[in-house]
């Protein structure tokens, strides 16, 4: 990663121009040109430095319901339970964490009313109590990283 890559990662996490030739417009401030910027973005996406380039939508404001949930899974059952949980298409992501509450997943459904149905199914399939932690207030959300 050279200085130009670093500048792209650090300066282009927002504010990509809304105009006919946005790469040309953004390139000017980065010390490159349109073709150079497009080539760098292609390379940074290909090598996995970037996971995506484009609009970052707020899924909740677009409509839909989300809820953070946790399970306390006995170690011997962990892989089996992970399979049961992940099989639900409403499970958007799922993380293993070091804690008695060792499985944390986010449910994403079209409507809030769909969440209890999915939770009940997971409880029935796994035999475990699901702890739901719906968001009550959002103080901040921004995922920006310095390269």
Partner 1 sequence: MTTAQEALDERLVRATQGGLPLVSEPYAAVAATLGVSEAQVIGRLDAMLADRRLRRIGVVPNHYALGYKANGMSVWDVDDSAVDDLGTQVGALAFVSHCYRRPRRLPDWPYNLFAMVHARTREEVEAKLGEIRRRLGPALRAADVLYSTRILKKTGLRLR
- Which residues, numbered 42-71, are part of the site for partner 1 (CB under 8 A)? 42, 44-45, 47-62, 64, 66, 68, 70
How many other C-beta atoms are found inside a 10 Å radius of the C-beta of residue 119? 19
Q: Considering the complex, what minimum distance in angstroms separates the CB of residue 144 from partner 1?
A: 8
Q: Considering the complex, what minimum distance in angstroms separates the CB of residue 58 from partner 1?
A: 5
Angle formed at CA 137 by CA 134 and CA 139, multiple of 5 degrees: 130
- The tokens for 48 are 């996995």
- The tokens for 19 are 């105009």
86 in Cβ contact with 126 (< 8 Å): no
Does 95 interact with partner 1 (rule: CB under 8 A)?
yes
**Which lies closer to partner 1 via its Cβ, residue 113 or residue 145?**
145
29 in Cβ contact with 16 (< 8 Å): no
Question: Interface mask (CB under 8 A) for partner 1, residues 111-130, using x and -?
Answer: --------------------
**Which lies closer to partner 1 via its Cβ, residue 64 or residue 74?**
64
């Amino acid at each position: 990663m050279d200085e130009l890559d670093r500048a792209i990662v650090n300066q282009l996490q927002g504010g990509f121009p809304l105009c006919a030739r946005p790469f040309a417009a953004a390139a000017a401030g980065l010390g490159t040109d349109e073709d150079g910027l497009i080539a760098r973005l292609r390379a940074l996406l290909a090598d996995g430095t970037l996971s995506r380039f484009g609009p970052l939508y707020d899924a909740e404001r677009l409509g839909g319901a989300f809820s953070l949930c946790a399970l306390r899974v006995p170690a011997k059952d962990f892989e089996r339970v992970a399979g049961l949980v992940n099989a639900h298409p409403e499970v958007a992501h799922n993380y293993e964490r070091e804690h008695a509450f060792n499985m944390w997943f986010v449910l994403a459904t079209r409507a809030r009313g769909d969440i209890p149905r999915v939770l009940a199914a997971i409880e029935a399939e796994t035999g475990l109590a699901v702890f739901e932690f719906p968001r009550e207030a959002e103080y901040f959300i921004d995922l920006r990283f310095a390269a």
